[in-house]
Chain A
Amino acid sequence: MFRLALKMSLARKSRLALTSLAIILGTSFLSGTTIFTDTINSTFERLFTDVFRGVDAYVRSSSSIETNFGESRRGPTPISALETVLNVPGVSAAVGDMQGFARVIGKDGEPLGKEMGPPTFGGIASASVAGLWRVESGRLPVGATEMMLDRSTAKAGKFVVGDTVRVNAFSGTREFTLVGVANYGDISSPGGATFALFDQPTASEFLLKPGFVDAILVQGDGSVSDEELASAITAALPSEAKLETLTGAQITQETTSQIKTALGFFTTFLKAFSYIALGVGCFVIYNVFSITAAQRQRESALLRAIGASRRQVTTSMMVEALIVGVLGSLLGFVSGIGLSRALSALLNALGLEIPTSGLTIRSNAVIATVVVGTLITVLSAVLPALRAGRVSPLAAIRDSALDTVGNFRHRVILGLVLGALGALGLVSAVNGASTTVLGLGVLGVFSGFLVLGPVFSRPMAMLLGAPITKMRGITGAMARQNAARNPKRTSRTAAPVLIGVALVTSFTALASSLKSEIRDTIGSAFRGDYALSVDSHGFGGIPTSITDQINELPMVEQATGVGLLPAKIGEESRFILIFNPKTAEGLYNIPMVEGQQSALTTDGILVENNKAIEKGLSIGSKIDVTLIDGRTVLLTVRGTFKSAFANYAVSRELFEGSTTPLFDNSVYITIAKGVPDTDARNAIAAVSSDLGIGKLQSRNQFIDSQAGQVNQILALIYGLLFLSLIIAIVGIIITLLLSVFERKREIGLLRAVGMTRSQVRTMVRWESVITSLFGAVTGVLLGIVMGVVIVVSLVDKGFSAFTLPITGTIFILIGAFIIGVLAAVFPARRATRNDIISAIAST
């Protein structure tokens, strides 16, 4: 029986090829993203191992605050500790290290580095072996006017040794002479970040505070182990300095895992997408098996008629599934390798240089892909194979009929129950349940819709096809009938389109709600004429000294800055809003629920209303807040406010005298009465944007660009969902091809009685368009439902409006139309290639 099964599946090459194609499609994304993630991780591991090769111990502040993305912010280390460290026996060298905020301003006056892109660093270039930089050309900088750049930044800015380079950092904007270009380990720059490097005193003074560095890199003389060295250093340091010492291995490991967590957002995203692709692929695979099982009905029936048992028929199909599953997954893995290369190329093109030196292919990735691919293939084949076993031997004589939907009522009930459970999952996920619940919710909603699919695919196809019948006469009518004739097949074929479109629609709906929320929030808070802002979120920004300078300009009536820093409130690490209550009045209004914004004093804090309720805080309550520099202060709640974006707000004065550099993200400005706009603009620009510090925009421009930032995230999501639409297209192509094979005789007959080739193509094309539109229309409906559910359950969190993405929806429908037309090209050509005689003669 096994040999028979093998022989039978090999005899149907096109069926085999199409089934494999579906599996390849589903698994290649899985393996592609796995290989890509493994490659990134191992590359960074290698990079940091290399970079920290000469570092035996690492001294840093022991106070730190974790931020959302796995990085942590630490207090600074006094350079005085360097002396102590150098005197510890076993230490041969020690230098300061720094990763502060510094923006290199290009020759065209624009800061280098992408908006929202990788960070822009300033650091210390040191001759010590413990230093992380290798000089490539020129020499190390010495003194207050010299600097060095990393190789890729120098290249990007077209800077050569001897050039004057402007750099903007905490202490303002200065000019330096470029004396050297360096490599980080053996690469030009890690992850596309830019580095401006100085000698230690310059770096401390320019980037942080004179006398402080971020950490001290130590090299031992080899007389003691790294562990012994680290504990000797710890013992030598005064305990009130709040410093800790790590071994070289520890800091390497920590940095690597930090990068991994930082990239975690991205890799999770990729993984989520590869699961979507896999899920969509499942549909295609299941569809292929169902269709081919129907097509081989005669074959199965004949086998039964000549004495094969049910089990044998089922087994022979399962064996075929197993073989195709293994082969397809292996091929999928191979194409995944190509895909991971494409991903790196894409990221490089976006400016996120991932230093890949060859791909990392772990055997786990191969095994996982093959196991998952084979498993879903075999599972997809179970139902069709069982059905094939149950076929009556009589079916050998019957023509393959139209398929039936089975019990409508059961379907409707099951579909509605699944959908409702899914919606419940969505709502609870939005209200704080885990991402697993979210995943299950999405799964539930989709399964509900897909179970319901066959119930309404026929009426929907008839409805969507009605105009085509009008336009195209009998050809259109037949396309419409073909789209409606196998309700299950149509709904399974449309499923990938449905999933992609539903996700796009709900993301679009969510994004436009978010955008209008951002507009409302900023619009009602910001009352001035101009805003100066930076896009570097949470890292660096506009030095507060610049804000003060702007405020003092005669042409400016009032200017106030708003910044963000992480802090620990109770046990929670949160970004807190930092503003200046003295200058904010009337210009930057926090929407207060209770209390007054102006009542905020140095020892006060404002709390978001829901947060206050959750924590049982009210005006007068006291909470402990730990700042980055390690200070813990007891703050009194002075008021509560409403916001979807911030939980706490404190006064800028809280940071006076702190070693933490304080930046504003945006500065809001009202110009003085009677001053011409352009004059005021020029005056502000002279101390800020002309120096590469921030972007100066009118109120409207600023609000637009803040809301527009949502689009960047949306674009990324669209990009990946676009790939899932490719799967959808291939799914439609496969189904159409199978349908064309299946209807070979029918098409032959049509050609015999006078259908032209172009009419055959038209017929196939419109069937494809109807199927694709069916997926798109139901997808839009589902997307809107999901969007509404999510937005409505976010109302508490400050979301107010559900915005229907009308233009987006129109684009989606046009897109679905185009997908339908494109998917039909090849199957339509295939349909006209059938030889009429053999089509009629074939049985």
Chain B
Amino acid sequence: MSSTVANAMITSVAARAESASKIYGSGDNEVRALDDVSVTFERGKYSAIMGPSGSGKSTLMHCIAGLDSLTSGQVFIGDTDLSSLNDKALTKLRREQVGFIFQSFNLIPTLNAYENIVLPLSLGGKPGDEAWIKQVIDTISLHDRLDHRPSELSGGQQQRVAVARALASQPEIIFADEPTGNLDSKSGTEILKFLRRAVTNLGQTIVMVTHDPVSASYADRIVFLADGRIAGEMTQPTPEKVLDYLKHLGE
């Protein structure tokens, strides 16, 4: 049993952190945003990260995604140790193996929706997998808006484009930091459903930071953070279970 688990871990880990610590400032101003965090995100799974404000969720995500560096510890995307990469290699890795969805300001205002979707591919000078891109666009159902600029799209549509962009290069893993934070509940639900579908139907790996128990319940598994440490985990979450756990965590 243990050997099969270990095996599965080796083959199906999309990203992981080992004893990751991140310290901001020094002396009296020292803030331990991450304190010896070890966590693994499985391939083909939808994970959520939850925790109180300031608990280090965004920091963890940024460090695993190669946007920021750790003070100590290691992070891996697939089998690649990020600390061994220089800026150029890191950029290439972000372009090819990582997808991003931020809370807002996800799109380049001078590019239209389609250009935004294929941006990481264009930056790498690659045409990308046409059939895949078509499938992604089908999934977010934005055919009639592809030549529109972001300013001509609603917030929900903009987030859908951002989801498509994250998917377009078939990355190893997609990170989403409160992707529905700025949306009304209808658009938000739509985005969450797209993400769910991307995992279930298209086989993608997603890690999503959220404050909302309902959003988190779309995930396969939730990792709880508090004060820069892993505070717990939950699989097959429901909104009620999550709410309950959070209450418990707050005490």
A753–B151 touching, CB < 8 Å:
no
Selected interface stretch from A155-163, A169-177, A744-752: A744-752
Q: Which of A399, A475, A752, A755 contacts B67 (CB 8 A)?
A: A752
Residue A464 at the chain B interface, CB threshold 8 Å: no
Residue of A nearest to B59 (CB): A837
For the complex, give the distance between the alpha carbons of A664 and B109 in Å: 72
A840–B102 touching, CB < 8 Å:
yes
CB neighbours of A757 from chain B (8 A)? 87-88, 91
CB neighbours of A63 from chain B (8 A)? none
Residue A60 at the chain B interface, CB threshold 8 Å: no
Q: Closest Cβ of chain B: how far from A564's Cβ, in Å?
A: 63
Q: Which of B68, B123, B151 contacts A755 (CB 8 A)?
A: B123
For the complex, give the distance between the alpha carbons of A220 and B39 in Å: 107
CB neighbours of A478 from chain B (8 A)? 108, 110-111
A837–B105 touching, CB < 8 Å:
no
Q: Which of A475, A745, A755 contacts B105 (CB 8 A)?
A: A745
Task: Kindly count the residue-residue contacts between A and B in the assembled complex, taking CB atoms under 8 Å apart.
Answer: 75
Contact bitstring A450-470, B, C-beta under 8 A = 1, else 0? 000000000000000000000
Q: Given A475-B123, A754-B124, A837-B68 in contact, is the A749-B108 Cβ separation under 8 Å?
A: yes
CB neighbours of A715 from chain B (8 A)? none
For the complex, give the distance between the alpha carbons of A585 and B68 in Å: 90
B151–A402 touching, CB < 8 Å:
yes
For the complex, give the distance between the alpha carbons of A759 and B123 in Å: 8
Residue B62 at the chain A interface, CB threshold 8 Å: yes
Contact bitstring B75-105, A, C-beta under 8 A = 1, else 0? 0000000000001100110111000101001
Residue A474 at the chain B interface, CB threshold 8 Å: yes
B100–A746 touching, CB < 8 Å:
no
Q: Closest Cβ of chain A: how far from B184's Cβ, in Å?
A: 15
A753–B119 touching, CB < 8 Å:
yes
Q: Given A753-B94, A754-B124, A840-B102 in contact, is the A474-B109 Cβ separation under 8 Å?
A: no
Residue B106 at the chain A interface, CB threshold 8 Å: yes
Residue B165 at the chain A interface, CB threshold 8 Å: yes
Q: Closest Cβ of chain B: how far from A841's Cβ, in Å?
A: 8
- Which parts of A722-759 form the interface with B (CB within 8 Å)? 745-746, 749-757, 759
B110–A474 touching, CB < 8 Å:
no
Q: Which of A473, A749, A754 contacts B95 (CB 8 A)?
A: A754
CB neighbours of B125 from chain A (8 A)? 473
B67–A837 touching, CB < 8 Å:
yes
Q: Given A474-B122, A474-B123, A837-B62 in contact, is the A753-B165 Cβ separation under 8 Å?
A: yes
Give the most central of B68, B96, B108, B119: most A CB within 10 Å. B108
CB neighbours of A475 from chain B (8 A)? 123
A753–B95 touching, CB < 8 Å:
yes
Residue of A nearest to B93 (CB): A754
CB neighbours of A752 from chain B (8 A)? 67, 94, 100
Residue of A nearest to B166 (CB): A753
CB neighbours of A750 from chain B (8 A)? 108, 119, 123
CB neighbours of A749 from chain B (8 A)? 102, 105-108
Residue of A nearest to B124 (CB): A754
Residue A485 at the chain B interface, CB threshold 8 Å: yes
B111–A481 touching, CB < 8 Å:
yes
Q: Which of A401, A474, A745, A751 contacts B91 (CB 8 A)?
A: A751
CB neighbours of B188 from chain A (8 A)? none
Q: Given A474-B119, A837-B67 in contact, is the A753-B62 Cβ separation under 8 Å?
A: no
Residue of B nearest to A482 (CB): B110
Q: Which of A481, A745, A836, A840 contacts B110 (CB 8 A)?
A: A481
CB neighbours of A753 from chain B (8 A)? 94-95, 100, 119-120, 123, 165
Residue of A nearest to B108 (CB): A746
B122–A836 touching, CB < 8 Å:
no
Contact bitstring B112-127, A, C-beta under 8 A = 1, else 0? 0001000110111100
Q: Closest Cβ of chain B: how far from A842's Cβ, in Å?
A: 10
Main secondary structure of the interface of B (DSSP, over half): helix
- Which parts of A749-807 form the interface with B (CB within 8 Å)? 749-757, 759
Residue of B nearest to A759 (CB): B123
For the complex, give the distance between the alpha carbons of A837 and B22 in Å: 14
- Which parts of A798-843 form the interface with B (CB within 8 Å)? 836-837, 840-841
CB neighbours of B95 from chain A (8 A)? 753-755
For the complex, give the distance between the alpha carbons of A751 and B109 in Å: 15
CB neighbours of B105 from chain A (8 A)? 399, 745-746, 749, 840
A473–B94 touching, CB < 8 Å:
no
Q: Closest Cβ of chain A: how far from B37's Cβ, in Å?
A: 17
For the complex, give the distance between the alpha carbons of A477 and B106 in Å: 19
B92–A485 touching, CB < 8 Å:
no
For the complex, give the distance between the alpha carbons of A840 and B58 in Å: 11
For the complex, give the distance between the alpha carbons of A271 and B249 in Å: 76
A756–B122 touching, CB < 8 Å:
no
For the complex, give the distance between the alpha carbons of A478 and B115 in Å: 10
Residue of A nearest to B106 (CB): A749
For the complex, give the distance between the alpha carbons of A759 and B102 in Å: 22
Q: Closest Cβ of chain B: how far from A490's Cβ, in Å?
A: 13
Residue of A nearest to B116 (CB): A753
For the complex, give the distance between the alpha carbons of A481 and B62 in Å: 29
Q: Which of A481, A754, A837 contacts B94 (CB 8 A)?
A: A754
Give the most central of A475, A752, A754, A836: most B CB within 10 Å. A754
For the complex, give the distance between the alpha carbons of A478 and B67 in Å: 22
B110–A754 touching, CB < 8 Å:
no
CB neighbours of A401 from chain B (8 A)? 109, 151
CB neighbours of A841 from chain B (8 A)? 58
A754–B91 touching, CB < 8 Å:
yes
Q: Closest Cβ of chain B: how far from A488's Cβ, in Å?
A: 16
CB neighbours of A840 from chain B (8 A)? 67, 102, 105
CB neighbours of B111 from chain A (8 A)? 477-478, 481
Residue of A nearest to B119 (CB): A753
For the complex, give the distance between the alpha carbons of A736 and B169 in Å: 31
Q: Closest Cβ of chain B: how far from A470's Cβ, in Å?
A: 14
For the complex, give the distance between the alpha carbons of A751 and B122 in Å: 13
Q: Which of B96, B107, B109, B151 contacts A754 (CB 8 A)?
A: B96
For the complex, give the distance between the alpha carbons of A402 and B151 in Å: 9
For the complex, give the distance between the alpha carbons of A836 and B111 in Å: 20
Residue of A nearest to B88 (CB): A756
B96–A402 touching, CB < 8 Å:
no
For the complex, give the distance between the alpha carbons of A282 and B106 in Å: 37
For the complex, give the distance between the alpha carbons of A754 and B105 in Å: 16
CB neighbours of A836 from chain B (8 A)? 67-68
Q: Closest Cβ of chain A: how far from B244's Cβ, in Å?
A: 31
CB neighbours of B96 from chain A (8 A)? 754
Residue of A nearest to B95 (CB): A754
A473-B125, A756-B92 are known; give 4 further A-B pairs, CB within 8 A.
Answer: A750-B123, A753-B123, A754-B92, A757-B88
Across the A-B interface, give the 10 residue pairs with the lowest CB-CB distance, nearest first. Answer: A754-B95, A481-B110, A474-B122, A754-B120, A756-B91, A754-B94, A753-B120, A754-B123, A837-B68, A836-B67
Listed by A's residue number, 30 A-B pairs whose Cβ atoms lie within 8 Å are A474-B122, A477-B111, A477-B115, A478-B108, A478-B111, A485-B110, A749-B105, A749-B108, A750-B108, A750-B119, A751-B91, A752-B94, A752-B100, A753-B95, A753-B100, A753-B120, A753-B123, A753-B165, A754-B95, A754-B96, A754-B123, A755-B123, A756-B87, A757-B87, A759-B123, A836-B68, A837-B62, A837-B67, A837-B68, A840-B67
Residues of A within 8 A of B (CB): 399, 401-402, 473-475, 477-478, 481-482, 485, 745-746, 749-757, 759, 836-837, 840-841
